[in-house]
Structure 1
């Protein structure tokens, strides 16, 4: 008996001693679309395919430069040449300018996250990129639930390796939610991209490594990737590059214990508002809320390829909900009791706004990307489809290629189409009298006639794609149109002529602008630290507020009501500036970006964030 027991122990010891190492290639920030990036990735793929001992390849985001469909398809074509399994995540470059709002990435790679096991190791990757939003990252509530569920399936002794694009720190506003989940498991390493260099450090006491970009910092032909080897004692990382180097630059002791601090999760906090009610959809909400009469409409994600439309009343009760196949990134629109919503998969739906009863649906051959607006059509087009009402309501929408369509809202018959723009239309178009004004990702601002779709004028500032005035919502006082762009410019454009009236570059503008109720003042949330109140006539300062909020890239439209300015910051706080220029916090909604606040009747407002939290409130 003793001999058998000894033999068994020796076999267990030998199996652990000679357990198969796990090896994988790690690439990140390939930026297909950037100069020579495709050639570099071809060389990287060829080099990886020569390493027979690897088990898989991980790619941690910024696969493309702009997230364009052509770039994604090009990257997929190259990466498909890999002979071992590939697991891929998106980065902020794959989502900020995505012509499909992130849907194409999921279509090509089946998901934007991954989870799999090899022996006693779990490899799990989470998406931290935000569709149509730049700067830092965010972890979606749906994905955090998925992370919990995937980890719960593993044995207590399973080694966990966590992949993400952004570092798990303040680069992701709610990073601590993932850290608080991971601390309950045998987490060994965090692996991320984004920073374009090899780096070994700690994130909340967890060993972490950043991977170099696929191309070099100084020489775009200096390609490279990392090879990660996991054995019973260490995690070793070697860089492979165009110079033939295979040097080891990191070794992490797998068996070293460490305590991961629990980070208190920040809860809702009211400072000075009168909170009527709160509602949590517990799912990602991409567009701002829509309010109509005594109803509030919200669009939230429902799984990876469906969306949910929720209608609430002013008491916070759900009146109706509909689930649609497809991803909705755009704010819906409403007129004459009909609600219109559109998907980046190319479908336009209408519903009874009161009951949620589906009415009509039509398909397009490209993604619908703009926020929707309705107009009172006053043109001469005679419709072929008979109408049951005398409604003149029409819905206007923009697409990934830059087309603008106008459809009769009741029948969904096309009225006109404008094809002047050549870049994606993302913004909420400004409707003023018989004009529709919008920016596009081709660098232009367009003014088109609402009755026939003809171009009145187009205006261009900076010629760089990256500095297009496309994400801000234009505002007007009836004389000028005001836009901001990521080159830090604020511009007043003559509404009738499309000529520059004045331009200011000293306010550190980005993609957030609003206007007073009577049109005499501009409200501007800067890229960093400051909020400005400016003269609409001259662009000069009326008042500046140093708020010390660091970087904020969330597009947001400050609003005014009876001399009070309401706006929110990326840090999750809603603010009020009263008529005496007193700045006051209203409430904190959580570490998440807040959409534009919506007016709701006399003195009531609704605020929502990207985590699906809705607050109905009144100013004190």
Structure 2
């Protein structure tokens, strides 16, 4: 009886006018503090000063992209400015903290206290969480463990408690790949609105029917005015106003706090289309595990097992035959780089600033090496030496049997995420400093450095996994160009923007062709032999806009590829003819690992791990 009475009271409080609960808060977003540009800091300081002079503002929400490059210096500067506020503030991450993150996103939590936000104010619950993407260029994504956290917090809150959800990205198709997972998880609760940014403008959306308020950036506008958003909760309504510095607020939206804008049932949005699977019915899942944790690394194949790192810091071994989990090892923070195994040792780096060597049979720790910053790079093992880059400016060569460092090169100017290429006694890798490095495999001494006159950190050849053939190293980069570089000298042989490719490259097994995904629908093939860019074929795969750094991989005459929205495909590597397509979920599929011409292993940021087979007989 007592519980029923409490439930009735909570329901009544949710629908009655809330004049006793009136309050005002500020929504700031997209501050983009940069160590290279003082203007964003000047704008944010002006906003903070004005907020401090307004006693009606009771707290401040900052909805992501606090920094331009996600680096420690810029995030610390943002924190120092926000610390001047004379009222509480709460911050969530934006894509500039997650895509470009030298720390593997660990700096944000250290500086601001957490990657999530939870607080209550005058009967309202506020929950904030990350919308990604983490390190890889892709759509935004809410990892499974954050959705589980969100559901837990909402289910444990008082019945029908009015709630605001704080994200950076709008929960829209094209912005967040699994928006529907979030909206379906929260729609049975009393969500008043999402609050966010990203678009640098005042917008109102409905995410599957749930209201979504998007704020302008604090950066000065075309009239040189910094600004922010004021939100007033008055009686039974919510009023949203733009506030430019030293100007009166201008209301641009209002919402009822008693009207129900959506139902508990599934919304009306157009959900992802899986009909492509009906077009290619010969493709079957041999097995698929849902880990419940985001995965940003490809599986490492060794003998009869694969090894997968995840966002919670687990390195797990699975049996290829049936997907059975064999063992699990816990690092102290997330694993983002792809591991590799050889000679019964599996090697990986983690954001906890360590490189690990484990027994590949049972997961027992053999050795670990401490770096001076998170280790985000993928591993390449060659002749029992593991090559891996970190975020401390050091690239290491490690004997996998002893765990001893063979050599280290400490002049890398940016953080490393790529998988190194070992060829012709050279180790070749890119970093987020506009540079492609070629080091001597035996000594670690510089053979050459290539920059290609690329300006701006964001255009670095850092996510692509280089390949080499016929005396040339091939890369693609965010400038949407494909480049052939002399393996011997590091000089540019050719560079072309013809196909609008980005951060993906693959090499045929016979070393005659190179492959890449374009940024819209197509896969292209060029000659690896010629000293000019010779285009051989293009295939319209129909995957739409695409910018995920998942590499095309050839096996037994079949070219395998994957996309940011859950699609995998197989092409005839000689002609480009489509063999099959298959969609698993709607999130980024990491670089695939083919077993043969009919079977391919995959992992996805949605937490899926699996094996597909094309049964063409």
Report the TM-score when normalising by structure 1. 0.91
Relative to structure 1, is the Cα distance of residues 17 and 95 closer, same or farther in structure 2, using a 3 angstrom cutoff?
Answer: closer
Quote the offset at 1:17 in angstroms. Answer: 5.9
Q: Tell me whether 1:447 sits opposite 2:438 in the alignment.
A: yes
Quote the offset at 1:603 in angstroms. Answer: 5.0
Q: Deviations over 1:200-231 (max 9, x none)?
A: 34332222211000113425x52111111112
Residue in 2 that maps onto 1:215: 219
Q: Tell me whether 1:98 sits opposite 2:101 in the alignment.
A: yes
Residue in 1 that maps onto 2:6: none
Q: Distance in 2 between matches of 1:105 and 1:551?
A: 30
Quote the offset at 1:153 in angstroms. Answer: 1.4
Q: Distance in 2 between matches of 1:490 and 1:483?
A: 6
1:121 counterpart (112, 120, 124): 124
Quote the offset at 1:585 in angstroms. Answer: 3.4
Q: Tell me whether 1:38 sits opposite 2:44 in the alignment.
A: no
Q: Distance in 1 between matches of 2:513 and 2:266?
A: 45
Conserved in 1, the CA contact under 8 Å of 2:48 and 2:81?
A: yes
Residue in 2 that maps onto 1:204: 208
Quote the offset at 1:35 in angstroms. Answer: 4.4
Q: Distance in 1 between matches of 2:134 and 2:568?
A: 22
1:278 counterpart (288, 301, 309): 288
Name which of structure 1's ranges 229-238 and 258-267 shifts more when overlaid on structure 2. 258-267
Quote the offset at 1:275 in angstroms. Answer: 3.0
2:319 counterpart (309, 313, 319): 313
Conserved in 2, the CA contact under 8 Å of 1:573 and 1:585?
A: no
Q: Tell me whether 1:89 sits opposite 2:96 in the alignment.
A: no
Residue in 2 that maps onto 1:368: 375
Q: Distance in 2 between matches of 1:54 and 1:136?
A: 34
Q: Distance in 1 between matches of 2:544 and 2:85?
A: 41
Conserved in 2, the CA contact under 8 Å of 1:136 and 1:166?
A: no
Conserved in 2, the CA contact under 8 Å of 1:477 and 1:518?
A: no
Q: Deviations over 1:437-465 (max 9, x none)?
A: 01111111111111000111111122222
Residue in 2 that maps onto 1:590: 585
Q: Tell me whether 1:508 sits opposite 2:515 in the alignment.
A: no
**Per the alignment, in what secondary structure is the counterpart of residue 325 of structure 1?**
coil
Q: Deviations over 1:211-260 (max 9, x none)?
A: 000113425x5211111111222111222222423222222122223234
Residue in 2 that maps onto 1:380: none
Q: Deviations over 1:422-479 (max 9, x none)?
A: 1111111111142100111111111111100011111112222221111111111142
Relative to structure 1, is the Cα distance of residues 17 and 256 closer, same or farther in structure 2, using a 3 angstrom cutoff?
Answer: closer
Residue in 2 that maps onto 1:388: none
Quote the offset at 1:19 in angstroms. Answer: 0.8
Q: Distance in 2 between matches of 1:361 and 1:560?
A: 33
Q: Deviations over 1:572-604 (max 9, x none)?
A: 111111244321433211011001111336853
Residue in 1 that maps onto 2:423: 432
Relative to structure 1, is the Cα distance of residues 338 and 135 closer, same or farther in structure 2, using a 3 angstrom cutoff?
Answer: closer
Residue in 2 that maps onto 1:235: 238
Quote the offset at 1:274 in angstroms. Answer: 4.2
Residue in 1 that maps onto 2:5: none
Relative to structure 1, is the Cα distance of residues 157 and 274 closer, same or farther in structure 2, using a 3 angstrom cutoff?
Answer: closer
Name which of structure 1's ranges 440-449 and 131-140 shifts more when overlaid on structure 2. 131-140
Give the aligned length.
589
1:490 counterpart (479, 482, 497): 482
Quote the offset at 1:356 in angstroms. Answer: 0.8
Q: Distance in 1 between matches of 2:533 and 2:221?
A: 39
Conserved in 2, the CA contact under 8 Å of 1:568 and 1:574?
A: yes
Name which of structure 1's ranges 160-169 and 50-59 shifts more when overlaid on structure 2. 50-59
Q: Distance in 1 between matches of 2:501 and 2:273?
A: 29
Residue in 2 that maps onto 1:389: none
Q: Distance in 1 between matches of 2:30 and 2:410?
A: 34
Conserved in 2, the CA contact under 8 Å of 1:481 and 1:493?
A: yes
2:553 counterpart (548, 559, 572): 559
Q: Distance in 2 between matches of 1:18 and 1:572?
A: 47
1:610 counterpart (592, 595, 605): 605
Name which of structure 1's ranges 577-586 and 495-504 shifts more when overlaid on structure 2. 577-586
Residue in 2 that maps onto 1:324: 331
Residue in 1 that maps onto 2:540: 546
**Per the alignment, in what secondary structure is the counterpart of residue 55 of structure 1?**
strand
Residue in 2 that maps onto 1:111: 114
Conserved in 1, the CA contact under 8 Å of 2:93 and 2:129?
A: no
Residue in 1 that maps onto 2:195: 191
Q: Distance in 1 between matches of 2:236 and 2:583?
A: 45
**Per the alignment, in what secondary structure is the counterpart of residue 57 of structure 2?**
coil
Give the alignment of 1:12-161 within 5 angstroms: 18-33=19-34, 34-161=37-164
Conserved in 2, the CA contact under 8 Å of 1:92 and 1:134?
A: no
**Per the alignment, in what secondary structure is the counterpart of residue 596 of structure 1?**
coil
Q: Deviations over 1:121-166 (max 9, x none)?
A: 2211121012212353011011111111111112333112121111
Note the aligned Cα RMSD (angstroms). 2.2
Q: Distance in 1 between matches of 2:18 and 2:200?
A: 36
Quote the offset at 1:570 in angstroms. Answer: 1.4
Q: Distance in 2 between matches of 1:580 and 1:467?
A: 31
Give the alignment of 1:374-385 within 5 angstroms: 374-376=381-383
Q: Distance in 2 between matches of 1:288 and 1:548?
A: 23
Quote the offset at 1:370 in angstroms. Answer: 1.4
Conserved in 2, the CA contact under 8 Å of 1:420 and 1:455?
A: no
Residue in 2 that maps onto 1:292: 302
Q: Tell me whether 1:571 sits opposite 2:565 in the alignment.
A: yes
Residue in 1 that maps onto 2:447: 456
**Per the alignment, in what secondary structure is the counterpart of residue 502 of structure 2?**
coil
Name which of structure 1's ranges 51-60 and 486-495 shifts more when overlaid on structure 2. 51-60
Q: Which runs of 5+ in 1 are unaligned?
A: 1-7, 377-392
Q: Distance in 2 between matches of 1:251 and 1:343?
A: 46
**Per the alignment, in what secondary structure is the counterpart of residue 182 of structure 2?**
helix
Q: Which runs of 5+ in 2 are unaligned?
A: 1-8
Q: Distance in 2 between matches of 1:527 and 1:96?
A: 18
**Per the alignment, in what secondary structure is the counterpart of residue 230 of structure 2?**
strand
Residue in 2 that maps onto 1:386: none
